[in-house]
Structure 1
């Protein structure tokens, strides 16, 4: 007779586990989540960088900049706070990676540029009369160009019991930490600083440390829409791959560097996972992506960056430039902000990127003045700033574009028109899109219509309801895109806004410049407009109204044909035709 004894489920499981082989847990990936200048920001020879890192284990680790090993110092007891000191002699800006026991971090762009500003902590901000978060003791002064900026900033600091703590030297702009303890004291000092003969403007920041850059809160279209078809996205990829095969030899492509002003990218998402590990530049044709790591795959930075660089067929986003890898020249996409110090930090990062060789800047952000109204006459209540703050930002942006024109005339900035259903070109309403310069491209947003018409029909797409409008908008592009996902083969949520139309245009401009790097900003705009399809009704050059999205297509943009049916309509991005015209432009200069 066989005797059996009942064994409780928990005990049985425990006995079973004892018989299984013991395997070591897979180490957590190394991820650089923060990289910012720290210490003395005025020091340009030996620069100190503070990093927040997860995944490092106890033991030795090393950092490599442009593949070269750096000396490093570990700071903090939790293993997550690191500090690097970089001697600028013989070194240049480039990708930084951390290595440990055969594992590599995500690559982050480390700029040795001199432009850096500090962000306020939670204890250093207060709510102003407009209900906006405002910096209490940190302001920036734009010094008149005939003065030595640093010397004059130090003189002003001594006079007003302040300290110089940050700077953007190419713009003669210096950040001061005031002795102010509240906004009344700050405003009194700002008023006195603004009266100094040497001061062109005083910039105050009105932004929290994690303020949203720009989002469209309107409802998304159905998930099965064909948004990018409205811009001939796949046709453009196919054209570049076929027409620009490197073994054909008739068109030589050139590497282009793109700067994206965003916080971070989730390298654990399948869309970006293969950018970690190894030296990206070992394959000269491949796109390289440098960014701080994010915790979630569907954040603003991941979605915007994904339109440039997301891997294909992973279920989430799909990057336009990534689709050109087999024949591409080796695009580089640098994602970053100098710090969380609002608009001033965006400009500081942009200056460094341009000095590091960026040819195309993507600005998927913008702000409205308090009191701005939409096309229906209703007030805008998101991404607003006070009149005082807007005046300072306007002067800072003016200095940036003047510097760009004088020192880097071939760099282009692509800016979102905004999602306030308002007017993008009115300087009393919105920045930076209201600036008029050849080097600034402004992008509106559209979505697929419900009409069954050919893709080149003006009614194939309709204006995105939330998109800002008017004559300052150069072109419109698809506003809706799927976000990256945490798992492969998942379908991402639909995100909409002019933030996501902007990188379609910026990526296309980078591709165009890779074909013909001699193209100047006004020539790029001409090619975009000449190649554009139409959207909306013809409005015969009357004042812009609620249904009009961009500046009207002119006869000069249609071979001076006054009777061309496109004339008078708004312009919709045609990525395929723009590349075709770019290749044709080579014949004119040969």
Structure 2
């Protein structure tokens, strides 16, 4: 019997559909806590997966399959309900046939806040996007936060919808329809004796708040220049690979967990395609939601730490240490799109999940902040009322960190407003003075090709980098972004956002060598090992245009006449690792 073309086509499709399906990428694009965020016995997670077929999908959490009854599917959406007693934090992977998705970190910790929907925001008097009916209360520490937040919610007709319980912060949805009603309720809530501060969120629901400010054309680097040579990137990789397994006095590196407060990573790029599916130390692992933009902020920041080598695009420092390291877990997590409050919620969860190093490639300026030329800063601005709430929130975070997790260090970008990073009235979080916060400025290669890497003029301050005594060290601010196809050169991205993970990577490597190093000791070793840049300013007042706090005689073996004294500090990755090795050997 003759077959029609339609019949033959249908037969062909059915016969070869597994082959077709195998070519469709499986990507976990969204994973967020949903349902009752205050439920401590159960947690519900909503996930969106691209590339699912009608076939049964399997989910694994930390390498173990989840029971089928815990997962409900509706098309590309998954609803996952877990019992808190039965599951710990770990990477979640979706599998279907021979395909595996990217791994996304699912936390068993309870800090989660709600982001506003597009119809729940408005423009305030400063022209900034602000939440209309969502605010967060920092409850005084002598009160039971959950109980007091519930009482205040009932008093003012609000509902408790989220929390960061370790900081005694609870998020309320107010019965407010506009900013006049919200501000009236904020004033009344702020006057309650049990309330330390009210945090008003100012951020668009879907806006990438970590994006750098636009650069002037004069600040654009030479695309072909080797920016990382100024920090001895390859020297550091070579040193670690050779020194750790050395036959004489070999070291046994420890696995290390790093947290990046970023949105997502593009796993369709050559830099990250190798991270699909299950992963565990001693190799480098990346856990992140999937993006569909190869040169996105999160992909570039994560790439500086973990991108594959020799595929074009980015090159990951920690990935380069794989042959000798104990493994690095890079967790990309942002909790929700609820701005700074969500960043802190994610940070608290990550710390409680064992992260030793937090990368904060973000920061905000107060409206009215001035740059070094006296002009207004025009990027990442927040109003006075928002800044006061954020300042209290960050203070509570660092107090909690010092009390409960004194071994954790936060690496923060100095900012790109050509302003002052240490002025607490105008810049957060870089202005905080604490041993557990290390601030990173940005430099770029000078146009002097005849200089050695240890010459102070080998690198120069980036015009856009924030400056002053609060900046601890600088690193290369320019990097090639990831690319979808192998062996391509990515676009050049610049900013302190990309200098920060350079320092994060070397700090994580130092801790893998000597996990007993404290945040104060890490800062000391980074400064002692630092190369220099710029002129000798002879310890001018802090409003001088020093890029970082000047090198002190105590950071140069107490030599008053050392040529480095008074200059700004430039990251030397190889020497920092060497000092970490020496610190480990001394305690043997």
Category of TM-score, reference length = shorter chain: over 0.9
1:579 is the counterpart of 2:577 = yes
Aligned residue among 157, 167, 171 for 2:167: 171
1: distance between equivalents of 2:323 and 2:282? 7
**SS class of match (2:317):** coil
1:368-407 deviations in whole A, cap 9, x for unaligned?
Answer: 0000000000001110000000000000000000000000
Which residue of 2 is the match for residue 93 of structure 1?
A: 89
Aligned residue among 491, 494, 514 for 1:493: 491
1:295-346 deviations in whole A, cap 9, x for unaligned?
Answer: 0110000000000100000111000000001111011000011000000000
Structure 1 residue 547: Cα displacement: 4.0
Which residue of 2 is the match for residue 215 of structure 1?
A: 212
Structure 1 residue 100: Cα displacement: 1.1
Number of equivalences:
569
Which residue of 2 is the match for residue 227 of structure 1?
A: 227
TM-score with structure 1 length normalisation? 0.95
Which residue of 2 is the match for residue 280 of structure 1?
A: 279
Deviates more, 1:81-90 or 1:211-220: 211-220
2: distance between equivalents of 1:581 and 1:101? 48
Contact 1:246 1:327 in 2 (8 A): no
Kindly tell me: are residues 554 and 249 of structure 1, through their superposed partners in 2, closer, same or farther at Cα, counting changes over 3 Å? closer
1: distance between equivalents of 2:352 and 2:501? 21
1:84-128 deviations in whole A, cap 9, x for unaligned?
Answer: 001111321001001111211100000010100000000100000
Which residue of 2 is the match for residue 400 of structure 1?
A: 397
2: distance between equivalents of 1:172 and 1:327? 42
Kindly tell me: are residues 233 and 216 of structure 1, through their superposed partners in 2, closer, same or farther at Cα, counting changes over 3 Å? farther
Structure 1 residue 544: Cα displacement: 3.9
Kindly tell me: are residues 496 and 216 of structure 1, through their superposed partners in 2, closer, same or farther at Cα, counting changes over 3 Å? farther
Kindly tell me: are residues 523 and 86 of structure 1, through their superposed partners in 2, closer, same or farther at Cα, counting changes over 3 Å? same
Aligned residue among 439, 461, 470 for 1:463: 461
Contact 1:536 1:547 in 2 (8 A): no
Aligned residue among 477, 480, 490 for 2:478: 480
1: distance between equivalents of 2:430 and 2:568? 17
**SS class of match (1:280):** coil
1:133 is the counterpart of 2:129 = yes
Contact 2:468 2:545 in 1 (8 A): no
**SS class of match (2:474):** strand
Structure 1 residue 250: Cα displacement: 2.1
1: distance between equivalents of 2:405 and 2:547? 30
Contact 1:119 1:341 in 2 (8 A): yes
Deviates more, 1:67-76 or 1:412-421: 67-76
1:502 is the counterpart of 2:500 = yes
Aligned residue among 552, 555, 579 for 1:554: 552
Matches within 5 A, 1:141-156: 141-156=137-152
1:399-440 deviations in whole A, cap 9, x for unaligned?
Answer: 000000000000000000000000000011100000000000
**SS class of match (1:84):** strand
Structure 1 residue 545: Cα displacement: 5.2
2: distance between equivalents of 1:260 and 1:162? 33
Instruction: Structure 2: state its 5+ residue gaps.
Output: none
Which residue of 1 is the match for residue 310 of structure 2?
A: 313
2: distance between equivalents of 1:111 and 1:384? 31
Matches within 5 A, 1:367-446: 367-446=364-443
Which residue of 1 is the match for residue 182 of structure 2?
A: 186
Structure 1 residue 588: Cα displacement: 2.1
Contact 2:213 2:379 in 1 (8 A): no
Contact 1:216 1:498 in 2 (8 A): no
Which residue of 1 is the match for residue 72 of structure 2?
A: 74
TM-score with structure 2 length normalisation? 0.95
Contact 2:475 2:571 in 1 (8 A): yes
2: distance between equivalents of 1:422 and 1:262? 24
Which residue of 2 is the match for residue 253 of structure 1?
A: 253
1: distance between equivalents of 2:40 and 2:181? 32
Structure 1 residue 568: Cα displacement: 0.2
Aligned residue among 346, 353, 363 for 1:366: 363
1: distance between equivalents of 2:516 and 2:298? 30
Contact 2:254 2:513 in 1 (8 A): yes
Matches within 5 A, 1:49-128: 49-71=45-67, 72-76=70-74, 79-128=75-124
Contact 2:468 2:549 in 1 (8 A): yes
Contact 2:442 2:465 in 1 (8 A): yes
Instruction: Structure 1: state its 5+ residue gaps.
Output: 1-13
